[in-house]
Structure 1
């Protein structure tokens, strides 16, 4: 009978250890997936920026410089120039 309880205790301990290990593996996998997602987003943003710059350069070259890329206005100037209405 003693061996039966020892075996049951060992099985319970092994099962608990396995579950804890699975939870840790799942957390690690989620963290890795989040990091990969962030890297993919940054890579996509960089690719879009590079493509945009190349398109502007090609347009400028094709038109002989008649059409030049517009510079983005600063946010502060847009906000300060917004009309205000007083009643």
Structure 2
């Protein structure tokens, strides 16, 4: 019976250390997954913004960084 007690305590300590190490690895893996998801979301937002800007520019007939062009229908109006 003495042998089981002398083996039991180090075994419990070893299992606790292995469990803690496993938790740290799981935490690191989860953090990596979250970082990748955040980067993917950022890229999707950037691409959506770029597409929306391009659609707006196409609709208004402008190029990025240039003022809107004057059309034939753009006449100054005067109140009566």
Length-normalised TM-score, structure 2: 0.71
Q: Tell me, which stretches of 5 or more residues in structure 2 are unaligned?
A: 67-80
RMSD: 1.6
**Would you tell me which structure has more helix in proportion to its own residues?**
1
**Per-residue deviation at 1:55?**
1.8
In 1, Cα distance between equivalents of 2:55 and 2:63? 14
Give the equivalent residue in structure 2 for 1:13: 14
The higher relative CO (CA closer than 8 Å, separation ≥ 6) is in 1
Give the equivalent residue in structure 2 for 1:49: 50
Listed one character per residue, the Cα deviations across residues 13-40 of structure 1 (whole Å, up to 9, x for unaligned) are 1111000010111111111111111111
Q: Tell me, which stretches of 5 or more residues in structure 1 are unaligned?
A: 60-67, 74-87
In 2, Cα distance between equivalents of 1:8 and 1:14? 10
Q: How many residues in Structure 1 have an aligned counterpart in Structure 2? A: 65
